[in-house]
Amino acid sequence: MKTSSHSSCPFHAGGQPPVPTQHPIGRWPPGPKSGLTGWGVLGQMSRDLMGTLAGWQREFGDLVHVRTWPEHQIIVADPQLARELLVNQADALQRWERALSVYRRVHGHSVLIAEGQAWRDKRQALQPDFTRKSVQAFSPSIVEAARLAFEQWPAGDKAWPIESELTSLTMEVILRMMFSSGMGDEAQQAEEAVHTLMVASTAELWRPASLPDWVPWQHKRRRARLLLNGLIERHLQARLAMPQDAWPDDLLGRLLRLHREHPQDWPLQAVRDECKTAFLAGHETVAASLVWWSWNMAAHPEIQDRARAEAQAAWPGAEGDAVEMSALQYVSQTLLESMRLHPAVPLLMSRRAVKPVTLGAWTFPARTVFMVPMQLMQHDARWFPEPLAYRPERFDPDAAKPPLGAYLPFGGGPRVCLGQHLALAEMTLVAAQLLRRYRLSIPDGALPPKPVFHVSQRPDQPLRLHIERA
């Protein structure tokens, strides 16, 4: 594989790479021929984004220049340079305006969308509620939601619709963590609304301009937005009608405490926006990750058996008993490896340089757009030997570590996913509860699913697995 960032791998060779010859600003790395407008390149990317990027990396190296008028885009698929960009050059970047414009229509001005000092203030205020220790308070809600869901599953089924079932379960978990209660039929409506909004937003990214909601063919998105807003508003108003000392310790309660303590910085609209982001960003990625994990468990029965033994040992008593996440170390490793193979979001939201950025031998002018495709690095044999093999032992605490920047399932730098600890806790507890009850296997005649990227990276066909009581 060609690399345009350095000629040898310092992580493997043990020495320092030669000092690269610096290219003058205004020169660009190699890349595909884009023609006058670059529309043909955009067409390739919209049809098969990850396949197109992987092909360019093989042909041109780890830094690829893509010209789509009027933009210059740089694809960064080198761990060192990705880390340099996201961590050391973070102050020189802002998210791509087109993506922010699209997602602002559904997320409002939440921490996901904010930039500059507004983002720093929101992040600082929210961070204490999303530490590894703080999210442990949600463990009972997660376990209870999983228990109730799995009690409804049959004792056995040769083609159980596990993708739709896990997607519904993760929505129930979000609702319990947000509002301290399950929603029954409302959970299904919320799930459909979230999916509609995410599909519409993803499709909108590839259009040159956004259409207003009043356009007749936008009625599904308009209805979905009204449903989600109404769900949040009902719970918000009900909570405000309660004495504050009676509020449960859920996400809504934590946000409303910010509102009460800092009403100017955290008006009620800010609380609404953060609730929407919890639904939209927190549901789909967790659901997709669990779906791919279930396939990997079914495809590797010996790994599944080891993870099941750990899960059963973690709850020797009542299911409501607290469990330390350290007791589910191997279950966690199976999830981390699954996210390496099949990241729910295979590339980060594009960044635009607000001033010149130097990466290796190249200096890029302000307004250059950078794309970091994590999946390419996570599938690179230089950093992960036999990269397409499913090996949870890669994440054993004593295993050799890949270079920093090679594994970025939650992004990197100051804007690393705020909810990463909560997402990992949710996935680990749900996975462990599933394994305690069920054995997963591949139905007769089923073929390995192919990943397709729309809202998130999901199997090309709705996933069904053979389930039976463990």
Would you state the pLDDT for residue 319?
63
Question: Which residues lie below 8 Å from residue 337, measured CB to CB, with a gap of 6+?
Answer: 296, 390, 391, 392, 394, 395
Residue 148 has pLDDT above 60, yes or no: yes
- Look over the chain and give the mean of its residue pLDDT values, rounded to a whole number: 89
Residue 10 has pLDDT above 60, yes or no: no
Question: Which residues lie below 8 Å from residue 396, measured CB to CB, with a gap of 6+?
Answer: 333
- As a whole number, mean pLDDT of residues 155-166 equals 97
- As a whole number, mean pLDDT of residues 108-116 equals 92
DSSP class of residue 85? Answer: I
Residue 11 has pLDDT above 50, yes or no: no
How big is the CA angle at 89 (ends 87 and 93), to the nearest 5 degrees? 110
By the 10 Å C-beta count (0-12 exposed, 13-18 middle, 19+ buried), 257 is classed as: middle
Would you state the pLDDT for residue 15?
45
- As a whole number, mean pLDDT of residues 417-446 equals 96
Would you state the pLDDT for residue 49?
86
Report residue 215's pLDDT band, with 50, 70 and 90 as the boundaries: confident
Would you state the pLDDT for residue 455?
76
Residue 336 has pLDDT above 70, yes or no: yes
- As a whole number, mean pLDDT of residues 308-320 equals 82
Q: pLDDT tens digits, residue range 163-190? A: 999 999 999 999 999 998 766 677 788 8
Q: pLDDT tens digits, residue range 67-79? A: 988 889 999 999 9
Residue 181 Cα distances to 142, 235, 332, 432, angstroms: 11, 10, 26, 22
Report residue 397's pLDDT band, with 50, 70 and 90 as the boundaries: very high
Would you state the pLDDT for residue 7?
37
Q: For the chain, give the percent of residues with pLDDT over 70.
A: 92
Encoded tokens for 9: 């791998």
Reading phi first (left if > 0) and then psi (alpha if -120 to 50, else beta), residue 384 is in beta
CA distance 416 to 414: 6
Q: For the chain, give the percent of residues with pLDDT over 90.
A: 70
Residue 221 Cα distances to 100, 112, 153, 211, 421, angstroms: 18, 20, 32, 11, 30
Domains observed in the chain: 117-344+410-469 (1.10.630.10)
Would you state the pLDDT for residue 220?
87
**Highest mean pLDDT pick, 10-24, 27-41, 381-395, 440-454:** 381-395
* Burial profile 324-347: b = 16 or more Cβ within 10 angstroms, e = fewer: ebeebebbbbbbbbbbbbbbbbbb
- Other residues' Cβ atoms within 10 Å of the Cβ of residue 128: 10
CA distance 347 to 360: 21
- Other residues' Cβ atoms within 10 Å of the Cβ of residue 470: 15
Whether 275 has a binding-site annotation, put simply, is: no
Q: pLDDT tens digits, residue range 47-59? A: 888 999 999 999 9
Would you state the pLDDT for residue 106?
85
Encoded tokens for 146: 């999983």
Residue 149 has pLDDT above 50, yes or no: yes
